[in-house]
Structure 1
């Protein structure tokens, strides 16, 4: 391992051309940063963003969110909004002369998510990443800025704190599509916000339960009434038969 590290240092200057790959992932899902470099003998890989080196698990049965698959593909699972951004995958491989070379792949990871909020509740979006320059909203065909770096939010109902863009007392007018862009206009995060129908659903279910209970009560009452009617008819016939029998006995005695 030490010899390999020394060798990597010696050939650090040997870098092939960069390639940019655009990748889109769904919040909570997973994405693959494909290296498409299967025909080479890979000696090592490393992954980093603009701000940090990202550990990549290269063992079997990895428990972390970032791990290698195949010879050099990198998987990121359980995606969150803050995963959006630029990634650089360094691939160290042997050429035909058994010399170590490095290839750098650049990835632009765009995260898409959906949020459903009840009216009157608080909407918190963890979208103000380190390279976010502005946040725009589209609800009627036109994009309007709701937050810009250096100027903050555009409404008193919005707050900017700890990387979160928060809307207090959510209303229907807050629904729509929000997107996060950097200073170069690159879109990193897209969030579709809708109004939750949870309360209406609960009310519908409650009404349905009430109707069901009502139907059962009516059915039971009708059944009881029917039983009483049948019992009355049977009882009336029984009395009538006893009366006839009594009349017959009386007549026979005369």
Structure 2
């Protein structure tokens, strides 16, 4: 009897080993994979905190927003990643008289460019974060922590967003958001924008100009000299033509003189 109860307990509470962190780029897709058992699956649930993101009881299913869906036996696809998708997830697979549960941690990375003097807004959902750090020569510097807020007057936290006012080149670098277990949720690489005041790339503007604007001065001197010489020859050629024409009309006279 006790052996039967032990076997039943193992079947019902079997849990797969935790999965490694899954990394995806903002706007891209990630796959939360699972290892199904050799038995019929009756239900698949994707949970985050206390919320069911996806609840599948048939072969094909997807979330209401269409960004989360099942693929294969029990793999879950999340597409069009957003910062708010970062964090911990659990895939629970139900079988007849048994179930498994696997842990996933989604890490999202992104790259943004900010123009000098503008405000940098990091929509990193501070409501679920424990701290925000930036890389520096001395290591990682805390910019915001739960319970203490921002670390300087140039920073503001508003509507789950960290704002860095009047962006400078010293603000470039890598930013990361961590949870209370020091797991990295979001990594953002920030660079200074090369856009001009009109919103165009400075390199593009130079490429679009006429190539003659970049000719050396010697070329212009040579061209100007050729033009002047040509004009001078044209001026000198007119009297010669006139003399020749006159000589043609006075041909008989010249012949008698010879």
Distance in 1 (alpha carbons) for counterparts of 2:178 and 2:153: 22
Q: Following superposition of structure 1 onto structure 2, how do residues 205-244 of structure 1 map, counting pairs within 5 Å?
A: 205-210=204-209, 212=211, 214=213, 235=238, 238-244=241-247
Checking the alignment, whether the CA contact within 8 Å between 1:136 and 1:178 is kept in structure 2 is yes
1:5 corresponding residue in structure 2: none
2:158 corresponding residue in structure 1: 161
Checking the alignment, whether the CA contact within 8 Å between 2:112 and 2:191 is kept in structure 1 is yes
Checking the alignment, whether the CA contact within 8 Å between 1:27 and 1:81 is kept in structure 2 is yes
Checking the alignment, whether the CA contact within 8 Å between 1:82 and 1:129 is kept in structure 2 is no
Matched, 1:102 2:72: no
1:184 corresponding residue in structure 2: 181
How far does residue 183 in structure 1 lie from its aligned partner after superposition? 1.6
Q: CA RMSD in A?
A: 3.4
Distance in 1 (alpha carbons) for counterparts of 2:122 and 2:238: 74
TM-score, normalised by the number of residues in structure 2: 0.77
Distance change in 2, residues 1:219/1:207 (3 Å)? farther
180-189 vs 223-232, greater mean Cα deviation: 223-232
- 1:56-107 deviations in Å (ceiling 9; x for gaps): 68349x97111111111111111111111000111123xxxxx342111110
- 1:206-249 deviations in Å (ceiling 9; x for gaps): 34444536369999989976875675576566445424423425
Runs of 5+ unmatched residues, structure 1? 1-10, 94-98
Distance change in 2, residues 1:215/1:46 (3 Å)? same
Checking the alignment, whether the CA contact within 8 Å between 2:67 and 2:79 is kept in structure 1 is yes
- 1:101-151 deviations in Å (ceiling 9; x for gaps): 211111011111111111011111111343311111112241111001111
- 1:170-197 deviations in Å (ceiling 9; x for gaps): 0011111111111221111111111112
1:251 corresponding residue in structure 2: 254
1:6 corresponding residue in structure 2: none
TM-score, normalised by the number of residues in structure 1: 0.78
Checking the alignment, whether the CA contact within 8 Å between 1:49 and 1:87 is kept in structure 2 is yes
